[in-house]
Structure formats: structure tokens, C-alpha cells
Amino acid sequence: MLEYKLYVNAILEVIEKIERSLNKLDKNDFINNQDIQDATLMRLQVIGENLKNIPFEVKKKNKDFKWRKFEKLRNIISHRYDAVDYNLIWSFIENNLIELKEGISKLI
């Protein structure tokens, strides 16, 4: 059961990469930089994949965390890549990345 902590650590590591790469950027910088967009989307996909691998029993014990919201983002990025709205991605990062980091950190 403790193997899920590998997924938790991977998620936290990727969140830190997103934070570092976007640290000195604003929304306009993000919208106009395709390399940063691509890196960020890939990192969000990695987060979603790792979230999917966390056992249901762990998720069930942490019902207050919005697992599905973060997993759905991965699905949108992976399966609807051509329809990704970078304004929404920026908003997600600004408004939800901290929530994700805090929720996942509680699992350690």
C-alpha cells in the first residue's frame, strides 16, 4: 500500500517544476510562449497519470480532496489537446495548483 507514495512524490516533484518554470511569468508570458505551454501541459498530464495510480482506498479516506477535478484535467489535455484553452490552464494553475499541492502533501 505504501507504494502509492511514489506517485505522491512524483506529483509533488512535478508541481515544483511547474512552479519554477512559471515563477517569473505572468499570464501574457504564458499565453505567448508555446514551449512553456507544452512543458506545463505535459507536467499536468504526468500529475493526472500519477493521481490515477493512487489506490481507491487512499482516495476514499481523503474524500475532501477533489480527485476527479485533477484527473479530468489530464483527460482533457491528453484527449482534446487541440481544444485546450490556455487561459483556462493559466487560471487552473493560479487557482488550483496550491490546493493540489496541499492535498497531496497530506498523503505523505
43 is catalytic: no
List 20, 43, 68, 74, catalytic entry: 74
* CA 60 to centroid of chain Cα atoms: 20
Domain that holds residue 8: 4-105
Q: Quick check: 81 pLDDT over 90?
A: no
Residue 82: its pLDDT value, please?
A: 76
Give the pLDDT confidence of 2-56 residue by residue, as tens digits: 689 999 999 999 999 999 999 999 999 999 999 999 999 999 999 999 999 999 9
* pLDDT confidence bin for 1, thresholds 50/70/90: low
Q: Quick check: 62 pLDDT over 70?
A: yes
Q: Quick check: 108 pLDDT over 90?
A: no
Domains in the chain, number = 1
DSSP letters spanning the chain: -TTHHHHHHHHHHHHHHHHHHHTT--HHHHHT-HHHHHHHHHHHHHHHHHHHTS-HHHHHHTTTS-HHHHHHHHHHHHH-GGG--HHHHHHHHHHHHHHHHHHHHTT-
